[in-house]
Amino acid sequence: MKSVVKRILEQPTRMLFAQEQHMRREHIKTLDTQTMGWLERYIGRSLSGNIPEMIRYTIREDSFNTYENRLIKRQLIELRHLLKLYAKIRQDERTQKTEAFADHLGYWLRDPFFKQ
């Protein structure tokens, strides 16, 4: 179990999201082909006739908020809950190991990856 969670935390499933915004031309670092095409269409429409002050720009971000990651998080939360219930109900030699593993699951769930 530890190796599986460790592998998930090292290489989580992610998606690349693109979001279009209008930014001031001074804040744009790189231009992509869509932005270049937009500039060609709107270059003469500003008040000064030059490059417009506000330019449509695409921002791309990695998101770890995928179905698979949410499912894994939910399963870990449920497993932790079940282990805590088991530790309360039964008082035997396995209780300490159960509580220790539930605490370890809580440690994994505090990882920034699961906070998203």
State residue 11 phi and psi, 5-degree precision: -135, 75
Query: What's residue 45's pLDDT?
Result: 58
Of the two residues 42 and 69, the one the predictor is more confident about is 69
Domain ranges of the chain: 15-63, 65-115
Query: What's residue 44's pLDDT?
Result: 62
User: Could you give the C-alpha distances from 92 to 43, 75, 78, 103, 106, in angstroms and in order?
Assistant: 76, 25, 22, 18, 22
Whether the per-residue pLDDT at 78 is higher than 90: the answer is yes
Q: State pLDDT tens for residues 1-59.
A: 778 778 887 888 888 888 888 888 778 777 778 777 777 776 765 555 567 777 777 88
Of the two residues 110 and 41, the one the predictor is more confident about is 110
